[in-house]
Structure 1
Amino acid sequence: METEIPAILRAREALFPERFTFHSSRMRMKKVTKEELEKMDADSDRCAIELSDAAVDVLGYACLVAIMSMGKGYHRVSEKRLHQCTIDNGHMAPVVTSAGALVDGLHAVGAKRVSILTPYMKPLTQLVIDYIENEGIEVVDSISLEIPDNLDVGRQDPLAPVEITKKLNTNVDVIVASACVQMPSLPSVQLIEDRVGLPVLSSSVATTYMMLKKLGLDTRVDGFGSLLSGKF
């Protein structure tokens, strides 16, 4: 979240007049386990209030699996509650969760069947699969890198998904190069899309797309896949 989304927005500044500032507040989490994710999510209200102190125009909740591990459709509950926090704090702002953004981004490009890459342990990947399928999208294939430490997830080579996704079933509508905002993949998105000839998304690309939609701005940012082509 703190590297890839600003990178996309910086790239957008070469095309359009809008300029962006980036602010962050952290929920604590070290090991990517269901128990720690639940504790992390419980801290999200505090973060929303802290960020709305800065009168930001849109908030992004970065952890996809934290939302998806809380139950099917939970992104709607979270977004509504955190939005209310900003209202109560006197600086109303829309809230985008990476979980909701990935689902909405997949729907935007017309995905019915997808293959996904995650850094998670397999039980957490299954929660992600169940969550996406509950939203009407079939997950045909998945790869779990099974990296338990959150810092290790963030240290992965951002070009690694180019090779790893070669193992995924491509008889689908869309490939998700990283179903985790923490796992870097931004330089891989367009390279994979150019190779397979299918739309390729990542959680950070989808989150940026939905942030731009909430802001009422043009969603075109060249070089980051079909979702940011400006067509959707």
Structure 2
Amino acid sequence: MIKTVIFDMDGVIVDTEPVHYYAYHQHFKNLEIEVSDALYASFTGNSTKNVYQKLKEAFLIEHEIDALVNQKRELFNDAFDTKEDLDLLPGVRELIIDLHENGVNLILASSASKVTISRVFNRFKLHQYFSHIVSGEDFPKSKPHPAIFEKAAQLSGNEKHECIVIEDSTNGVKAAKAAGIYCVGYNSVHSKMQELTEADIVISDFNSLDFKKVRDINI
């Protein structure tokens, strides 16, 4: 029986990708570098620090990693606070509440920074539903490395076969499977150029999941 559901955040709980896209590309413009759509798509599931480590190597950027991260974060925070139409993805709040009310342990495992996670959770009042929050900034390697999901499973206090992960990115699915955890791929219209074939099942609508269906997943 499934006792813990581990959620990714960006592209699963909330679509902050347009805000990230704006912040990143404004910063790329400031840095005078041209990042292709394919290269940008490959960063999905990576922490901001890992993104800039890759960009620093690819474009020989002289700025320090921490400075680059802080500059992008400021652009993101300004845009996030002014984007009035930002909302949770359809059906996800109902799923979160349904799972929580039926005693399923919920954990967030997101590559986003703690600051960004906090902004999202405060804005949409999500703290009450999640027992733990795991941020990618605490790990030296981003998804597809499995460390973040291994930590989430450990914090759950349950066995891995009693946990599932919900992910929308290629790197996230690979990380879940590398951690040995059943993965539900969420095929979001907002997650472009992502390959979910390694997921155990793929859904396109959160209304297709509920407590009973999650509980009875046969692993």
Shorter-chain TM-score range: 0.3 to 0.5
